[in-house]
Amino acid sequence: MSNGQLHITLIQPDIVWEDKVANLQQYEEMIAGITGAKHVVALPEMFSTGFSMAPERLAEPMDGSSVKWMADMAVKYRCILTGSLIIKEEGKYYNRMLWVQPNGQIGVYDKRHLFAYANEDKHYTRGETKLIAQVNGWRIKLQVCYDLRFPVWARNQGDEYDVLLYVANWPEPRSLAWKTLLQARAIENMCYVVGVNRVGKDGKDNNYTGDSSVFGPLGEAIWQQSNDVACHTVTLEKETLQNVRTKLPFLNDADKFLLL
């Protein structure tokens, strides 16, 4: 693998509603079928259950079976596995995105912006800290679904990160916003943006068209898949990113601010 490349696999599934066993089985089959190099394999938001507001019934601790499964897959298939799960910690529930490495280390990002429209804020505790993960010389900022609507939280302050990675359960009626905002985040932050979503219907009869996407640092579309289950690997080029930022140093002119 070239040090200037990042190989990231997007898995766009039809999530079986609140059925962890069935979901993890389908993901392992998809991961096992990946050919070629892979640094990161990205699953959607709440990938083991779907976007459920029943954490009292579905949440697991950090030493639970789904986290253990992620760790096992990372080792078995020699990749970093990421996606969000319903996690219980110290009596609170979190929509938690995990960054699980084959060496056993696990990074944690708790979803900052909870989707009040679906009462997510009534069931889960919001996160307070960012996470910029690193792999193969790349810096990847982790985000979850509704975070996409809040550009300040994603803002690339200088040369802070190279990739914004969103995992989501983003429904079809607002798919235009999903696709538009992913592209906008790439343009304004001069970075690659990767958005991983799901297809099918959930237990609340919400329909999802997926539209998992990859955009380049000028907003150019690299890959997008709608409607169908998909498992697709893209290769991102560090040289492309560096050339764009050198030729067009727009980030140097951004407003300076601190998040308190």
What does the pLDDT look like over 151-193, one tens digit per residue?
999 999 988 999 999 999 999 999 999 999 999 999 999 999 9
Considering its fold, how many domains does the chain have in total? 1
**pTM score > 0.85 for this model?**
yes
Judge whether 260 lies within some domain.
no
How far, in Å, CA of 231 to CA of 12, rounded? Answer: 6
The CATH number given to whatever domain includes residue 134 is 3.60.110.10
- Is 138 a member of any domain? yes
**The Cα angle at residue 226 between residues 220 and 228, in degrees rounded to 5:** 140
- Quote the pLDDT of residue 252: 94
Give 233's contacts (C-beta < 8 A, 6+ positions apart). Answer: 7, 8, 9, 10, 34, 36, 37, 38
With contact defined as beta carbons under 8 Å apart, do 100 and 71 qualify? yes
Instruction: Establish if 259 belongs to a structural domain.
Output: no
Give 111-132 pLDDT, tens digit per residue: 999 999 999 999 999 999 999 9
Residue 258: per-residue pLDDT: 82
- Return the pLDDT at 257: 86
In a domain, 146, yes or no: yes
Q: Is 222 a domain residue?
A: yes
pLDDT band at 238 (very low <50, low <70, confident <90, very high): very high
Is residue 48 included in any domain, yes or no? Answer: yes
Q: Which two tokens stand for residue 148?
A: 């996409």
Q: Please report which confidence band the pLDDT of residue 260 belongs to, taking 50, 70 and 90 as the band edges.
A: low
Amino acid letter, residue 69: W
Q: Which residues are catalytic?
A: 45, 111, 145
Domain that holds residue 102: 5-253
258 located within any domain: no
Q: Are 42 and 9 in contact (CB under 8 A)?
A: yes
Among residues 57, 43, 55, which one has the least CA distance to residue 93? 55
